[in-house]
Structure 1
């Protein structure tokens, strides 16, 4: 049950479903907050109570106004009476989106008023029992802490009870028993309404007097009074002769109502602030999402540009490698071409000297075919090497090493550079085999150039294949003097080269192929009298 001077509070949405309730509301309904939230009054209260609540709520929602009502609700110890304050709530656009209600228990005052009415009715029933009735009435009034007044309208004299005087800080004898003494105590702002209510009852336009107003106490403070009364004696013509009624001190109730209104205003303000904050947050969220989309578009565009540039660099690297490969082919063709020339010369001499027999001609033709076949094989290897791979496949690392060595071996011998390969076993890798071979050829070409640039005697290049930590690792080691420490972190940058005629894209292309296209790594370090490049790719399978 809502306790005196505390309030039950709840907020409903436009469908009149509870969205927020306080602990006092749980006590009132006898249900938990979890059981109340999301439900309507028909699911919680008896039909008549729910109907009355819905009527009040709709009046607030449709009228967009504050509503104050006295209500009666059944409790465990009998009916309880409440003063209920209801007002609309609003969304960010200022539209009504619900109703907030607060109630305060006034059962004690209502019970006292009922006792007063019973006492007054008993007093009116019989003038003969007036003295006894007044005594009982005074007892009730004393118990309810209300005051009594008796107004003689003919002589404009008012009999104020002792409690009436004490309520304002006076002794009974300090108050003059006239109507104008009462008027001097009423707050000037409230007097027009008070007089209108009294006049309406005297003229028969209302069944009784009931009005709330402020009265000045002896100390100068103001108290709120609930004044209730009616005419109790008329003459034969119906002219009012005497009226009686009660004064109830409702200052505490007014303070509670004012506090409720203040809290409701603060609550409304807080709700509006939260709605505005949520709207601002939503706006910022939309701005952030737009910014994220813009950044994503810019990142995608930048990535696409980088990929195009990488493709250009790879294409340039492929062309540069192709030029070097043509040089290698020239080295490989020089010996078979010389052999063919000598074979043709020998056939000419044999013809001239008459020694050209059928056997000699067949043997010479077979040798020529072998030489031409060797040259054709070189062209096929060159063609396969520069055919781009379209899909990732499983390939043999050892086979790609042997093919790369075969393509450069003649050129290396011509420059007195020894090339050798060491492998305990083969490694199967997942990737693009031709691009992998391009990387190996680029590393071998760089090793040869470094040796020719720094050494007068013969050079050495060693290729080592091994499986390490789930990866197939190829190391290309030379004795060409190593990489200066000052440029070690730049050699993989695009267009950076230490050669006078270098393009600076070979190592960048190699890094892009291994790390971006095949999820591997490529690195370099200096070793004794040279450097070592390491290329590592994940193993597809280890033989």
Structure 2
């Protein structure tokens, strides 16, 4: 919907303002307007009305458009300001635009106002959009700079030579340099020598492919090496092409990968070697937990074993492959005892710790097991249950200690976090020993500090403290358990093993055991009492020793699990963010994994690719070509590198992918598939093809040119590398091989000029149209015009010279002949110039004669008019003088009479004097253009003929508006009018017209002022029309000179750039002056 435009109109003529509103409405512009006529009102409305656009007259009483414009520019330069005025010359209009006006419209051409307003509003909108865009660009640049400086990756910007031009703080920290030192280095200064080729490829591939990704090894300032991952792209930096490298330190990830592998291996070993049975049962369909309990038990008894370890299978008297798929009721009888077992499970929130079950093994043996398991519940439905199982058949009534120890082992395997594990251990141990003061400590070797991830104490609360000589540090250092009675602690102090007054030496009884992993003590678990010196025993120490190994493994496993999950999350995010296609296939070539880049490369969703063979994605031609090779590679276990294949895009187009893959083995070193990455090289291949086509076109073109094209070695090597056929022909040899054996300098008439030519090339890198005398095989000479460029390597050393030679011998001969001809032509031109000057002078002399004659003729006619005007006042003066005699005879001649009649005579004489002044001013030429009112000039001219016109009874009809202002020569314009009026008067008298009439009509039409002078004397005869503006042509016989109309046309059309024309009307002739 179009918004309402607010228009402020500064105009002192209300009618003109209304016309402006009318034109805006006619242009379909929806608007509201305010009209003001002075500065005060203008300022008020500018602030209160808040206009969208301003229309202003140029001239106003005590105010003008330019002053208003300056005010608006100070308030808001974005408000369009359009000058709307009656008249405005080009200089003034240009000045208005220069000072900030958006446009100007003449009131005589108001039809343009609507479009001018629309164009101004359109321009205003574009200016606002551009400012918003500039502001947005600045914000984006600021955001990019913040990202650059705050990134956790190193950002390095290289010029095309490989020099570092900018770096972010992370880069300085990563490489150990200060910023000012780092940007002085080249890329080679920070990369391991074995990886220089990667840096070279980086510079090339970024420019060709637009991006680059690899892994490398870089060098720290201190000389240490570290693994990095590098992404690259070409960017515009400070107006020039540069290379951006995003570098990430992956040393820890490499170490973590190794740790993950070790951890996974340990976990697999644990599962396979643990004495705890591990199982997972899944219902035939999810069990609704909102239904009755007995119904839930019925459905759970039908659950199927979908996972277990060999320990569980052995407990059930079978093997894993035979246990998988059995129903739960096959090993767990549906009896009262076992149903109570499930009721307890449901009561406890679908999880059970240490529940006892009565089961039957596959060999038929009755067994009792202690189970810990938990159900997975989604949307109030059990989808599966995982659990561990311990055979308690032989120790159904074992001691509570055994139960507690089992619970601790259970917690190790079921808790999700270390904090949960520590809390569970604390609770379970508290059932059999005093754990009022209990902690788990880990040793930070790098800082020689004891860390306390779990610490419960009556007196102190620690998170860490220096190891030094403490009981905890002693146990970790020796790797041995300690039953620390007061006596034992005192002995250790005396032996210097621990320090007196150190942490935990104020205890009455302290018991601790080391947490050992891979024969290395990583920490300790301990209990203590501050008031009972006999609270613990050797049995308590054994209990702690029993759980310590499990706790140590659990800590390491949980830490590894967290690191593994972190690395998995990172790897998944990284792979999914890659623009290359990352995939995994089995040994049949069927995809088992794909990142989402396949969508951009081949158009397929990930789900569409999974389960799909790679071969089926190839084009038919590629399948036929590579089928055998691919089958062999899939079974080789070697993988492949940079294999290029043509793939069929989902839309039918063809893509070229470059593939690299490595084999994947399972834990038994059996080949299970391949993991790889495919890079889309379609654009690169197309570019190479275009280069080849371009080179072929170049060879075709050069072989068909008439000029000699060559490439030679630079400097002193002095040999030709490539030449075209025209080169062989130009120098008169049989073939290319013959001429290539020669030294380049031997083709010069003066071989030394070859060295001079090469020196000039080295200095300027090129030469153009260098003229040298060359020598053919037969010894004949010719003039060659050589243009060439010097090719350099990346270090700036000249390698070769590419150029072409044109035989200009004939052209030089023609130029010499042309110079001789030009010399004769210049002589002839000089003689002709003298003749032209002489002819022009003669023409100017003739023009001066014509002008003089025209002015003399006009003066003659004017003198006649003045004489006619003087007759009446001279007769009046004569009559007054004659009255003096009569007054004297009548004795009336006194001083009063004389003064009265003398004053009357002086008035008449002054009037006659003014006539002479007007006559003199009329013939005074104007030297400068001035603004004049055409109406005033016409009326002043008529005054000279007024008495003659009245005397001859000629009716004068005038239509002269006031608004016709022109910049020109008013006296010359008046002279033209006088000539036309005199001619009209003479022809009216000559033809004895009874009702003589002359009409003068003045009008303004667009940018023209038109004056029409019409008579009723019958018109101009046909035989006169073609000659009327000819010099010395007259129809007045003895009365005229024949130069009046000729000079009138010269004045209007040459001096004033206007037009003087004539024609006949129904009653007479009409002369029209247009300026």
Scaled by the length of structure 2, the TM-score of the pair is 0.27
**Which among 1022, 1037, 1058 is matched to residue 500 of structure 1?**
1037
In the alignment, which residue of structure 1 is the partner of 2:772? 98
In the alignment, which residue of structure 1 is the partner of 2:905? 368
Using a 3 Å threshold, how does the CA distance of structure 1 residues 262 and 405 change in structure 2: closer, same or farther? same
Report the CA distance between 1:496 and its aligned residue.
1.0
d(CA) in 2 for partners of 1:296, 1:466: 46
d(CA) in 2 for partners of 1:448, 1:330: 17
Are residues 1:471 and 2:471 paired? Answer: no
Whether the aligned pair in 1 keeps the contact of 2:1000 and 2:1011 (CA below 8 Å) is yes
d(CA) in 2 for partners of 1:492, 1:351: 61
Whether the aligned pair in 2 keeps the contact of 1:491 and 1:507 (CA below 8 Å) is yes
SS at 1:507 equivalent: helix
In the alignment, which residue of structure 2 is the partner of 1:462? 999
SS at 2:1051 equivalent: helix
d(CA) in 2 for partners of 1:331, 1:507: 24
Alignment of 1:128-527 (within 5 A): 261=778, 271-288=808-825, 291=828, 294-356=831-893, 358-501=895-1038, 502-527=1040-1065
d(CA) in 1 for partners of 2:743, 2:847: 79
Whether the aligned pair in 2 keeps the contact of 1:463 and 1:476 (CA below 8 Å) is yes
d(CA) in 1 for partners of 2:932, 2:837: 32
**Which among 22, 25, 30 is matched to residue 708 of structure 2?**
22
SS at 2:1069 equivalent: strand
Deviations 1:15-66 (A, max 9, x none): xxxxx9833x32x43xxxxxxxxxxxxxx23x4x35x99xxxxxxxxxxxx9
d(CA) in 2 for partners of 1:272, 1:528: 76
Report the CA distance between 1:342 and its aligned residue.
1.9
Using a 3 Å threshold, how does the CA distance of structure 1 residues 265 and 432 change in structure 2: closer, same or farther? closer
Whether the aligned pair in 2 keeps the contact of 1:450 and 1:481 (CA below 8 Å) is no
d(CA) in 2 for partners of 1:519, 1:295: 31
Count the aligned residue pairs.
Answer: 320
Deviations 1:396-432 (A, max 9, x none): 3222211210011111222222234321224332332
476-485 vs 455-464, greater mean Cα deviation: 455-464
d(CA) in 1 for partners of 2:738, 2:813: 37
Deviations 1:320-371 (A, max 9, x none): 1111111101110111111112222233322321234554443322322221
d(CA) in 2 for partners of 1:294, 1:433: 42
Whether the aligned pair in 1 keeps the contact of 2:1049 and 2:1059 (CA below 8 Å) is yes
Report the CA distance between 1:263 and its aligned residue.
9.8
d(CA) in 2 for partners of 1:21, 1:273: 14
Deviations 1:298-318 (A, max 9, x none): 444433322221111110111
SS at 1:419 equivalent: strand
d(CA) in 1 for partners of 2:1030, 2:810: 56
Using a 3 Å threshold, how does the CA distance of structure 1 residues 299 and 518 change in structure 2: closer, same or farther? farther
In the alignment, which residue of structure 2 is the partner of 1:536? 1074
Using a 3 Å threshold, how does the CA distance of structure 1 residues 421 and 288 change in structure 2: closer, same or farther? farther
Alignment of 1:28-47 (within 5 A): 28-29=712-713, 44-45=714-715, 47=716
Using a 3 Å threshold, how does the CA distance of structure 1 residues 83 and 352 change in structure 2: closer, same or farther? closer
Report the CA distance between 1:533 and its aligned residue.
1.0
Gaps (5+ residues) in structure 2? 1-701, 721-731, 751-770, 785-804
d(CA) in 2 for partners of 1:284, 1:72: 43
Report the CA distance between 1:275 and its aligned residue.
1.1
SS at 2:808 equivalent: helix
Report the CA distance between 1:393 and its aligned residue.
2.8
SS at 2:851 equivalent: helix
Gaps (5+ residues) in structure 1? 1-8, 10-19, 30-43, 54-65, 74-79, 90-96, 103-259, 538-543
Report the CA distance between 1:391 and its aligned residue.
2.9
360-369 vs 272-281, greater mean Cα deviation: 360-369
Using a 3 Å threshold, how does the CA distance of structure 1 residues 468 and 291 change in structure 2: closer, same or farther? farther
d(CA) in 1 for partners of 2:1000, 2:939: 10
**How large is the Cα RMSD of the aligned pairs?**
4.0
In the alignment, which residue of structure 2 is the partner of 1:86? 747
Report the CA distance between 1:289 and its aligned residue.
5.1
SS at 2:1001 equivalent: strand
| Structure richer in helix, relative to its length | 1
Using a 3 Å threshold, how does the CA distance of structure 1 residues 504 and 262 change in structure 2: closer, same or farther? same
d(CA) in 2 for partners of 1:356, 1:513: 57
Deviations 1:79-122 (A, max 9, x none): x8448763639xxxxxxx733267xxxxxxxxxxxxxxxxxxxx
d(CA) in 2 for partners of 1:442, 1:287: 51
Using a 3 Å threshold, how does the CA distance of structure 1 residues 337 and 509 change in structure 2: closer, same or farther? same
Report the CA distance between 1:489 and its aligned residue.
2.0
Whether the aligned pair in 1 keeps the contact of 2:933 and 2:962 (CA below 8 Å) is no
Deviations 1:490-527 (A, max 9, x none): 10001111121221111111112222222222111111
d(CA) in 1 for partners of 2:966, 2:848: 23
Whether the aligned pair in 2 keeps the contact of 1:417 and 1:458 (CA below 8 Å) is yes
Report the CA distance between 1:468 and its aligned residue.
2.5
d(CA) in 1 for partners of 2:890, 2:1015: 53
SS at 1:499 equivalent: coil
Using a 3 Å threshold, how does the CA distance of structure 1 residues 287 and 536 change in structure 2: closer, same or farther? farther
d(CA) in 2 for partners of 1:477, 1:295: 47
SS at 1:328 equivalent: helix
SS at 1:402 equivalent: helix
d(CA) in 1 for partners of 2:829, 2:900: 77
Whether the aligned pair in 1 keeps the contact of 2:772 and 2:783 (CA below 8 Å) is no
Whether the aligned pair in 2 keeps the contact of 1:425 and 1:466 (CA below 8 Å) is no
d(CA) in 2 for partners of 1:425, 1:516: 26
Whether the aligned pair in 2 keeps the contact of 1:427 and 1:467 (CA below 8 Å) is yes
